[in-house]
Chains A and B, each alone.
Chain A
Amino acid sequence: MSNPGRRQDVDDLSIKLLKLLERRAALTIGELATMLDAPPDEVARRIHHLEHARVLVGRHALINWERVGEEPVAALIEVRVSPQREVGFGAVAARIARFPEARSVQLLSGTYDLAVEVTGRTMKDVASFVSEKLAPLDGVQGTTTHFLLKRYKEDGEVFDEPEPPPRLPYAP
């Protein structure tokens, strides 16, 4: 079953563990152990190992800040980059990624190279980050800023999914 490209130290149980955590990061060791039918010690050992190997790189909550009324301003920045000898796009990407304003940095195929999601308190914050920090970087040829107007779905979760209609409380 296992994929030939898979790391040697990640077996089927670890894959199941990762898939569970990917959807529900807050599960405790005990809960994970019951669900996976594995000893708690083993689950704890694997989590530690996966964190150490930077396979499990974070465990975050997904929050709809719009509901709170405190959503930050976000923009998707298309960045065109001239690749550099030996490092390609990597050096510029790494440089951008170190800015805390950059929420995500991805390399894409197509008409531009890097997609950078930038967040800030105000539109001006975002705009000045782009013009003062991002655009002037060596290797950056140009940017296009798209302000994000609404998030409908993120990480597999639909934000405004209506409550499903109730089921019969008792059914045969």
Chain B
Amino acid sequence: MQTISEPPVERSARKDRVAARVRGVAPSGIRRFFELIQTMDDVISLGVGEPDFTTPWHIREAAIYSLERGFTMYTSNLGLIELRRALADHLALRYGVAYDPGDEILITFGVSEGLDLAMRAILDPGDEVLVPDPGYVSYAPCVTFAGGVVRPVPTSATDGFRPRPADFADRVTTTTRAVLLGYPNNPTGTAPNRETLSAIARVVAERDLIAVSDEIYDRLIYGREHVCFASLPEMRDRTILLGGFSKAYAMTGWRVGYAAAPRDLLAGMLKIHQYTALCASITSQMAAIEALKNGEAAVTSMVEEYDRRRRVIVKGLNDVGLTCHDPEGAFYAFPSTMATGQSDEEFAEHLLLEEHVAVVPGSAFGACGRNHVRCCYATSLPQIEEALRRIDTYVKRKRQG
């Protein structure tokens, strides 16, 4: 007698073991460059995305001391109350927005986790999110993973990549749930002024949307004040504010950030966080407390240094013919590659192979980033100057060729 085991039909029909929602997201556009760079030496990388400073010593020392005293346990799901209180004071003092440290602030594994929590907390399947393009690489995938649909809001170099409020209003439909903003922006460095952000806020209020505002670069802003989206009229109760310690205090590897939001939204995020993450690392939270308490001088001196490098790289790129708007924040310049007649992908690849300078193609950040490259100036001035010399050589050769 022969027995034939019948395979379950649903299984066999589904050839791929990974879910469709995940398969549908393209792998990171910079992966390929990682492999190229492995084979090379003497590379100057303007492709990095983090400060070149090491975390200030007083912060590292506070973390070490916390370990010596035995702070090695879980914290509350929300995070250490001392840290939440310090953040509430910080946000009230700096931006005039009041959050209750008891249930309106959540400590996360950086903005990355906060973003994921926000999307999962607010989106039902098919809900649309308006996202300025270009924007940080995680925005669209986080919306998709949460079951939402991204509606890009195009921005362009002619406006210095500032978003136009009308472009948001035009794209709002009955299924639009939220706008997802990231200013100062990665990759463009753009930081829109109060007027522009207020106009976007009016769209949010009039169309009854939620704003998710990634303000991880809030402290890295040059010659102007950062406008906290939650501080705009009617926005505190409509905004999920995401922030962190990575950029301002050079703490990328600590993975510590926060979300501040009205209680109902925060409760939704907390529910996911408590089951998926439990709590952020206590060591990192102890470090974050020290950063808020005593880190101001270090932030100021790092920002001054970034500003000097910013001027050097922006002038240098424009001088060699790679047109570049003046970035108001973050630590990125975003020049056009058009002078070389190359697309951003070609430019980034050949600049790396021929001159050993790494930059990130703008199209990794959305269709509107095409023909631009992201150059990070969180690297020493001599390195920036050497990179500019190599870029100059490259551009001249391509123009002649």
Q: Please give the residue numbers on chain A whose beta carbons come within 8 Å of chain B beta carbons, in ascending order.
A: 20, 24, 31, 34-37, 164, 167-172
Contact = CB atoms under 8 A, between A and B. Distances in A.
In this complex, which of B28, B30, B43 has the most chain A Cβ atoms within 10 angstroms of its Cβ? Answer: B30
A35 B54 contact: no
B225 to A, nearest CB: 16
A167 B358 contact: no
B45 interface: yes
A144 to B, nearest CB: 32
B358 A170 contact: yes
A170 B360 contact: yes
Contacts of B33: 170
Contact of A31 (B43, B54, B312): B312
A170 B312 contact: no
B54 A171 contact: no
Nearest to A166: B45
Contact of A171 (B43, B47, B52): B47
Contact of A169 (B43, B54, B311): B43
29 contacts: A20-B308, A24-B381, A31-B312, A31-B381, A31-B385, A34-B311, A34-B312, A35-B311, A36-B308, A164-B54, A167-B45, A167-B50, A167-B52, A168-B48, A168-B50, A169-B37, A169-B43, A169-B48, A169-B358, A170-B37, A170-B47, A170-B49, A170-B360, A171-B47, A171-B50, A172-B30, A172-B49, A172-B186, A172-B360
A31 B313 CA distance: 11
The secondary structure that dominates the A interface is loop
Interface of B: 28, 30, 33-34, 37, 43, 45, 47-50, 52, 54, 136-138, 186, 308, 311-312, 315, 358, 360, 364, 381, 385
Contacts of A168: 48-50
In this complex, which of A20, A36, A168, A172 has the most chain B Cβ atoms within 10 angstroms of its Cβ? Answer: A172
A20 B312 CA distance: 14
Contacts of A167: 45, 48, 50, 52
Contacts of B358: 169-170
Contacts of A172: 28, 30, 49, 136-138, 186, 360, 364
Nearest to B309: A35
A28 B289 CA distance: 40
Contacts of A31: 312, 381, 385
B216 to A, nearest CB: 12
B86 to A, nearest CB: 27
A153 to B, nearest CB: 12
Contacts of A20: 308
A170 B34 contact: yes
